Structure 1
């Protein structure tokens, strides 16, 4: 194995005194996801990271997972390279404890519970907001660990502004994108298309068909809106991605997948202090699976939703939000599920306030689930500005996660009697913003009850059961600034994701969670030339609940550079995994070694 000469933890401790994602620390930044409003009031009470379009292009990430793993407390598990089945956890929670939204639309398979982030087209993304900590009081089920919201590119008024990019790289990596945005009168639009193909790697050498496991993707995004003279705004969005993924399953297997989101939004103000937002949306997650040329299974899942939100200005610096969500989950499959449809009705209220040096956020939500009955969650957050540059924040929140259709009804595995998972989260943070940079320290404790696990019943039979309790404790350190001409940002997470079940594996670490996570980015501009480097390091983890299969710690280094021919044209180059580190995030699934990429970008200003 090729590794850097120092351990990930040693590197992290050496560098943690220095840096973090500056986007997450701006105390006055406007973050939509944390409060479901366009108000900046109390948005900074949550631990939030924002990744803008400029960051996406500067970092030259090839997929969304590469971007997200740079965030504090975010861990990625990938089954063998680009486009392969992946999962994401926040603060040591399960992958299905993270709610993922695209332009406010809830996505994810209702059978597996995972969102196919590996299939999202990078060139269609404008902005990503990652909120760490529970948000069930606003969003209902799934937001135990946090919320990730992805905003697609949005047009602007004025003459058409085309954009395009072409990338080529190692292992026959070829990608292209093109689009145009603009507007006329009170209308605006954005249209974009993108494609990607790669030969990939042999994800499981010696354990299947000995060849490379390729991936292909084609996507399109349309977003448009209009503002009427009376103030009514209407906009719509369509995102569609088709992908084909080769993988090893004893012999050559393939999955053809489709990810779709459709949304129609309306915003208006019946009265001066009262703003109404309506959304009707649908997301689809579909897959057809094959062994060789033989069809094996089909899973088509759909989530239809309707939302009605009212934001009312009670006084300067005080906003009351009242809302209603209606969600319908459905599955159509070659597998026979005893039930294929369920509804959830959610009613929520939130009170945001700011007065003098004090800020607060109070939230309460009641969900009526067709399968699991009623569930109430809440959140309280408070912040005080100790000085002009220093803020102390604290919060407490409860959350829950409804079981997936697989956990309930999959033949031979599902258990219709299992209960929903619940959690209690405590958090305390201290944040500073100074002329020289920004920093933050967040301490958290999340207690998760009735974790759903696969239990071996003997005779090769596995059953979904509520068997586990987990207590996840941790600290996040962030620091960012501009020193000696360099923009420097880093974060360090130290966490203890412990299994507290009274049955087997009590005191062991939860599977596939590292105790240490570290990221470091450095960038500098020399006239027309930009250069940068990134370090990502993770400590050891265990692949199984019994903590008998070890996944070693690792660190990877990326280098990047770009040159501006003009304000509109530039060329970029990147080397990922510079030292060709050999590592796994899931046992027996290799990760991509050293790779190089060259990109040409055009953007009309």
Structure 2
């Protein structure tokens, strides 16, 4: 039998009722006893209260909300799914979700890019990534090093599809990924040790300690990861340490403090040069050091009113060597980020209607120092957001508005101001049955240029802000206690979308950063999950996306109607989790990606990158305090390119293996 064709047929069959969230972990029927949680009076909740608490609330709304109350396609990846997954980091964890495309550009852990709803090569500037509500999107074009957030530290991951600039400002045009880290053990002090080894001389060691002592809850973790990498000159190593502390010692006051530090070294392999595991670069590398601190006091004025102030500081230093064509080398750049975010939340009945009203302010200061003039970006935004619950809390109306001002200096030292950035959102959600909803929403979001993203031939000109308008409507339905499904339709129109257009003239290379005239993205996400037996659950999802370039005066409309490169028109996922013997679990996930134009090929002048299908599997044995597992990635040894540019290709690894164990001790 041709196993590839067999899995493709499973996809086609599963697409008829494909899944958005593996039953979202929050849609999954459950007989588990609900975990109690501190509740706030008049907090807006779902009418269904029989689900595990750790996956029942989403905080990407800047207020705890049940997914069933949000006017969007929302996924929560909970602890069980994380424990059974073959993923080594957050990027690999979310790659099987509908509407989410994940690529690893340089085949190093620091080069992952998460793309929500088809923004291609500029996805890192259009998908907002948060850690406990803290932005980790870089102020420059370097992307995010998600490998510094070890999975043993992650409690759950929230995926919110659709614009969210009203609540978070810049970057939240395609969607939001919110990573929630482990805070404490509610049952006992817990020590966790884990180790993992795999192909390409890969190994990882990790340890965490979490627990409580009267009015103090804490969590501490550390990890070390190293690998020679699949390609020539692609070795990497990462060391991390992190902590979080929550104090409730003072009456009506909570004080949360978290911080961390990481050091990474990674070789830069470049594109393929001959054999699949070859690389065009030799001896080039990067060293990245990062540290951050977050302090969040929260004062409960009354049971219904609280004030929160989140203060974040982050500093990074990047030493690198690149081919001479890419600029001075070796070199060092540093970046610093400081943000202050006060927020007032009021939960009260107004005229007999439960309301949650939020008003807040976000101020962020970013500074980047490299071989040129210092690049500084300041942004200040104020927002209001209100949720009203009607009809016995089954109908939810969300309205929000943000006004933001941005000030930035460019490569030539000149300053420019953008003081008229407005974001709006409106959503209506109806819970017509338990775990079922129908919704419609509109969102106007924005994104501005990065500090090293100047326009013009000399890269020193201001670019017009990008404005994206998203309409979406959908339904999530629980057919019975075993079967759930969902369908979301979306339409995104962007004016002045910012990207590097290779069809424009350049000085050394062709191309300029530009604010392109118009782009559109129209598509749908279809999903389902099915509890076939008590021990076997299935999921599948399918995403269709028509992403096109519209009118653009800067290139004389030469690209009108072309497909946005780096975005597949279709992709799908299928998988299952099977407890086949007591204490044994088999988890398998398959991903199909349609062919697509290479990144930067806005003229659509080259052949498309071939489609591919990959399958990952993992077996886990759990006994009391011990969990042992073994996994295979790319089970059928598919040869494919995970990332392809207009001039080069970056091949994906062949079949590879991983095995490890987790030891947990409560005391």
Match of 1:572, SS state, is strand
Name the structure 1 match of 2:331: 297
Name the structure 1 match of 2:282: 251
Question: Shift of the alpha carbon at 1:258?
Answer: 2.4
Kindly report which structure 2 residues correspond to 1:567-586, keeping only aligned pairs within 5 A, or say none.
Answer: 567-586=624-643
Tell me whether 19-28 or 127-136 shows the greater mean CA deviation.
19-28
Kindly report which structure 2 residues correspond to 1:440-589, keeping only aligned pairs within 5 A, or say none.
Answer: 440-455=486-501, 456-460=504-508, 462-484=511-533, 485-502=535-552, 503-525=557-579, 526-543=581-598, 544-547=601-604, 548-564=606-622, 566-587=623-644, 588-589=649-650
Structure 1 distance, partners of 2:173, 2:6, is 31
Kindly report which structure 2 residues correspond to 1:413-424, keeping only aligned pairs within 5 A, or say none.
Answer: 413-424=458-469
Question: Shift of the alpha carbon at 1:67?
Answer: 0.8
Match of 1:362, SS state, is strand
In 2 relative to 1, CA 459–158 (structure 1 residues): closer, same or farther, beyond 3 Å? closer
Structure 1 distance, partners of 2:243, 2:147, is 20
Structure 2 distance, partners of 1:328, 1:159, is 40
Tell me whether 290-299 or 235-244 shows the greater mean CA deviation.
290-299
Match of 1:279, SS state, is strand
Question: Shift of the alpha carbon at 1:212?
Answer: 4.5
Question: Shift of the alpha carbon at 1:395?
Answer: 0.3
Tell me whether 387-396 or 492-501 shows the greater mean CA deviation.
387-396
* Cα-to-partner distance string for 1:298-351 (whole Å, 9 max, x where unaligned): 222222111111110121631111111111111111x213x5222111111111
Structure 2 distance, partners of 1:242, 1:412, is 35
Name the structure 2 match of 1:117: 146
Could you say which structure has the higher strand fraction?
1
Choose which of 51, 60, 78 in structure 2 pairs with 1:52: 78
The answer to whether the Cα contact below 8 Å between 1:489 and 1:522 also exists between their aligned partners in 2 is yes
TM-score by length of 2: 0.84
In the alignment, structure 1 segments of 5+ residues that lack a partner are 203-210
The answer to whether the Cα contact below 8 Å between 2:111 and 2:143 also exists between their aligned partners in 1 is no
Q: Does 1:217 align with 2:238?
A: yes
Q: Does 1:40 align with 2:59?
A: no
The answer to whether the Cα contact below 8 Å between 2:576 and 2:588 also exists between their aligned partners in 1 is yes
Kindly report which structure 2 residues correspond to 1:90-239, keeping only aligned pairs within 5 A, or say none.
Answer: 90-93=116-119, 94-95=122-123, 96-112=125-141, 114-156=143-185, 159-202=188-231, 211-239=232-260
In 2 relative to 1, CA 508–9 (structure 1 residues): closer, same or farther, beyond 3 Å? farther
Kindly report which structure 2 residues correspond to 1:424-443, keeping only aligned pairs within 5 A, or say none.
Answer: 424-433=469-478, 434-443=480-489
In 2 relative to 1, CA 11–486 (structure 1 residues): closer, same or farther, beyond 3 Å? closer
In 2 relative to 1, CA 355–538 (structure 1 residues): closer, same or farther, beyond 3 Å? same
Match of 1:541, SS state, is coil
Kindly report which structure 2 residues correspond to 1:270-285, keeping only aligned pairs within 5 A, or say none.
Answer: 270-285=301-316
Question: Shift of the alpha carbon at 1:387?
Answer: 4.3
Question: Shift of the alpha carbon at 1:528?
Answer: 1.5
* Cα-to-partner distance string for 1:459-516 (whole Å, 9 max, x where unaligned): 5354322124210011101111210341112211011111113423221211111111
Question: Shift of the alpha carbon at 1:85?
Answer: 1.9
Number of equivalent positions = 591
Match of 1:200, SS state, is coil
The CA RMSD measured in Å over matched residues stands at: 2.3
* Cα-to-partner distance string for 1:436-470 (whole Å, 9 max, x where unaligned): 22211000000011012324324535432212421
TM-score by length of 1: 0.92
Question: Shift of the alpha carbon at 1:84?
Answer: 4.7
Tell me whether 15-24 or 250-259 shows the greater mean CA deviation.
15-24
Match of 1:306, SS state, is strand
Structure 2 distance, partners of 1:59, 1:91, is 23
Question: Shift of the alpha carbon at 1:602?
Answer: 1.0
